[in-house]
Structure 1
């Protein structure tokens, strides 16, 4: 596993680590599985020879135990919990099922259980993204973006408002998404506790539920969940460089519902081991940050920014360049490694044969060129290089950009990104290795730069 003068990883090792991560199941903040994964990461960092530093974050945990939706006659509708929604009494809530036209129509379900379809709006790509370049050169985003994460923000119900209107519970149905793709999506993850029990019903039951609501039929909604004060840990480790006063911040997050969300920590471990194993220390001090709380941003992030914003606020002495503080000359973010492209078609949810487009934010034109140059040896490439646009920078690279740290941030966005359960068939270990090798070169070149240049301001417009 030698690469030039350091210990590098390989596809077999990455896949073994990926399977071990997947075997833990969903790793949401405060869960036993997430704590186990965090402890494994700490062991890896200790094994490399790095001191592990820990930030303990306090938050209010909402952890579902079970949920069910029952029609008269004992008919059970398959369903999954709506994150941080609410709870019912142990024997559930029985009330008429009332269909609401949209999220603004919840008042009609006062004293009842609302049935709401959550559609997949077609959002113009030029509203969300500004392209700097791509490889292949002719690669473009589709003109209209349909994405479950965006849909959950724009179309999912405001459950606090529902509770204030006297709605007893909400049954949500995805619209415009296949049953296989819609099943067990852990969305939204951008809301705090709502105080109104809600579930996602299986898409294949849509017609039955709509007909039942049309008849004013009764349903029993049961959602059992634990609520309590809890803690979750952010880990970070420092690889000293020859220049102790300048740093590079390399970050990802550790929580998520499946194998790709989030496997970025596997990449950071490989990079930390490689740069630590080289006979000559890096020029810059490298700070590897494994953040918790991406899947409960309202409690972990600052001012609704991504979770890494908390680490940046708590450790300004490692990046802001103030008197007596170190200055971060650059940053790098890794998320969602090895994703292949799967799409809904007339035949269902399946592979296209392409790799998922690698969305890569670059903090300025110089970093965009640097990243593009590092793609030269790739055998499979579908990279779109982006500039933050209209206040939007998706992923944990966002806080670095907002802090004025020039960074390169990988954030593919496959359709299955937030599905609970098995997404290993959608991942490719050889692609994981290619992506990591690219970003190893990116980090090496960032380390050698005298100055990557200032962060370019976000673009605006439609």
Structure 2
């Protein structure tokens, strides 16, 4: 069901020459931590991160935060922001796709993360320091296969490359093209449910090792130094009925559970998406491998396979079934072939994002997803979070959530096993996990169903992709079901943990009542010029976002103990392995503030600057009409630390230098940066100060 994409513009960039505005005022800072500006991320202590999380999320109990949203609403009379329309959802998802494939640690990924940070801040949420992870980014620069002699001489149509495989020299590797037969499937004898599928996938690498060793030993002429072609009869012939034993509710008007039992669920993301080990081929002395998949070229082209494996010792490529038939015939003459997989590896850092909308309660509800992905599917959960933040942060005092809303968006899902994903975020934020009344993991919204069959090729079925939500049983499940019945989203299945796909299962293990919602279309991992937006259903996505928002509202007044009751599979695991380094988020230094009467201020926080004698630098400008009576101040634990004089702010950037009296140094730690117009608070947010930085 193709649709016309929307393409919103980038947010405007500040311009003009700076003018100074020095200021100083008394205050009493307190210890801990270190910052950076928006251009470079600096380290903060883990202790201060946890303390900052506790203080910020407790909100009203700490400094009362002068409820930023209420202060702005009072000053401007701005009405609440509605949940998004389908058009708004499409525009924001298109904006994400326009960044390009957001593979872990890549420039498009970093740009999307910064967009999330900026949009959270603009919505009125507060950013905690980001958790920065060191990562060795693997990038395929070029790939191809060429037969150099014989009747089939020429380039071979290659669908995609094997992710994190060993790269070749720039000129490729050459060797005889040899056909090695058909590789075995995972044992499917007991494939009756999702648990059996998980067990079969776990056992498959060992089965493959022995099978490949036996298969290659029977080939005449040997395979050492060859370019080996093997048939991989995948994807697995899996029916959607594997989820039947877990099914607690199916929302599909006029249908019942029997209607999904035999539905085709062959998906490339299951296998080889979860990894095919290449070490058996290395042991056989093979120079490179070409896997023939039981897929059309249209379905296989651009698939990022496998997306969740470790680094492998042999270069490998994938071709479709039609190309595979030609390669089998060509390999009979053992022609010389060249396989190319040029790769680069770059040391980078990649951050998580944690944003809060403070409530009155010490308890929190966590919304969880990852930030990296290939097209519109992986991962549009962060876009949904921005839409929900805009809505919930805009509600007036009487309609706000009682609990603090936490948005957790972290990297690493397309990065193999090298980053800790959700478990790492939970280890970095134990206080938030401890106070969590519930968690909602949201992935892969708005997916239509496409199938690849031998008779019809790759085609749309006209249905939604099956949307599965694993839900903690008991009261929480019943609330989720009732909200789903009200939303009436067809082909949505509620399933019982603890056997669970997706990135939210760690909450169940940790004893946090949870929803883990996910769809798994065939194009889940596809990288394409349009990000597969022709397969995106924005109306479905908007309805799914509204369903999750309704669940959040419905559970707000339900005691946490009731949400936890009724599911004996809730665990008590405490995750402790993290490895991240807390830093000032890039957009933590830049935000827009609504100053009322149709005026807006753009404020950028740079922190302490050595060239200014340790003064705190803030840059401010109006993005529309000039704004008079503006002041900027730093507060710590409710006390004034430094304040500027009153300013008239225009579209020309103005540097504000905040100093303590008698030029005493600022202590490191968490402060509130408060922007006022004529004494009225128009914006308040947490910032961090550390060792004075050079520059600016």
**TM-score when scaled to structure 2?**
0.60
Is 1:353–2:459 an aligned residue pair?
no
- For the pair shown, the structure with the greater C-alpha radius of gyration is 2
Q: Deviations over 1:396-420 (max 9, x none)?
A: 1122222221111210111111111
> Contact (CA 8 Å) 1:401, 1:455: kept in 2 or not?
no
> CA–CA distance in 1 between the matches of 2:147 and 2:227?
12
**Offset of 1:219 from its aligned partner?**
1.1
| Equivalence for 1:92 | 172
Number of residues of Structure 1 aligned to a counterpart in Structure 2: 442
Displacement of 1:268:
0.6
Q: How far is the alpha carbon of 1:24 from its aligned partner?
A: 2.1
Distance, in Å, in 1 between the alignment partners of 2:276 and 2:451 is 25
1:115 aligns to 2:194 (yes or no): no
Structure 1 unaligned runs (5+)? 302-306, 321-326
| Selected match of 1:414 from 499, 521, 531 | 521
Q: CA deviation at 1:153?
A: 5.6
Q: Secondary structure at the match of 1:300?
A: coil
Matched, 1:133 2:249: yes
Any idea what the Cα deviations from partners look like across 1:417-455, whole Å, max 9, x if unmatched? 111113111111111111111111011112221131247
Q: CA deviation at 1:125?
A: 5.1
Matched with 2:369 is 252
Q: What SS class does the counterpart of residue 157 from structure 1 fall into?
A: coil
Q: Does structure 2 retain, via aligned residues, the 8 Å contact 1:120–1:148?
A: yes
Quote the residue 2:430 is aligned against: 316
Higher RCO by CA contacts (8 Å cutoff, separation 6 or greater)? 2
CA distance in 2, matches of 1:432, 1:232: 27
CA RMSD of aligned residues (A): 2.3
In 1, Cα distance between the equivalents of 2:352 and 2:523?
25
Equivalent pair of 2:474/2:565 in contact (CA under 8 Å) = no
Measure the CA separation in 1 of the matches of 2:280 and 2:165: 12
Pick aligned residue for 1:150 from 270, 274, 278: 270
Distance 1:286 1:20 in 2: 24
- What displacement does 1:380 show? 4.3
> Does residue 371 of structure 1 match 2:485?
no
1:277 is aligned to 394
- Output the CA distance in 2 between the equivalents of 1:114 and 1:449: 60
CA shift, 1:209, in A, is 0.8
Structure 1 Cα separation of the partners of residues 320 and 260 of structure 2? 30
> Do the aligned partners of residues 347 and 211 (structure 1) sit closer, same or farther apart at CA in structure 2, a change above 3 Å counting?
same
Task: Give the secondary structure class of the aligned counterpart of 1:295.
Answer: coil
Deviation at 1:51, TM superposition (A): 2.5
Matching residue of 2:99: 24
2:242 and 2:261 in contact (8 A); partners too: no
Is 1:48 paired with 2:123? yes
Does residue 288 of structure 2 align to residue 169 of structure 1? Answer: yes
Q: Deviations over 1:112-140 (max 9, x none)?
A: 12212222222465656611111126145
Distance in 1 between the 2:300 and 2:542 partners? 29
Q: Which residue of 2 aligns with 1:323?
A: none
Provide, for residues 223-253 of structure 1, a one-character-per-residue CA deviation record: whole Å limited to 9, x for no partner. Answer: 1111132211111111111112x11110111
C-alpha contact 2:228 2:290 (8 A) present in aligned 1:
yes
State how far apart, in whole Å, the 2-side matches of 1:436 and 1:105 are.
46
* Unaligned segments of structure 2, at least 5 residues: 1-78, 184-207, 218-222, 571-696
Partner of 2:346: 228
The counterpart of 2:85, out of the listed 10, 17, 32, is 10
Query: Structure 1 residue 181: deviation in Å?
Result: 1.2
Query: What's the counterpart of residue 386 of structure 1?
Result: 495
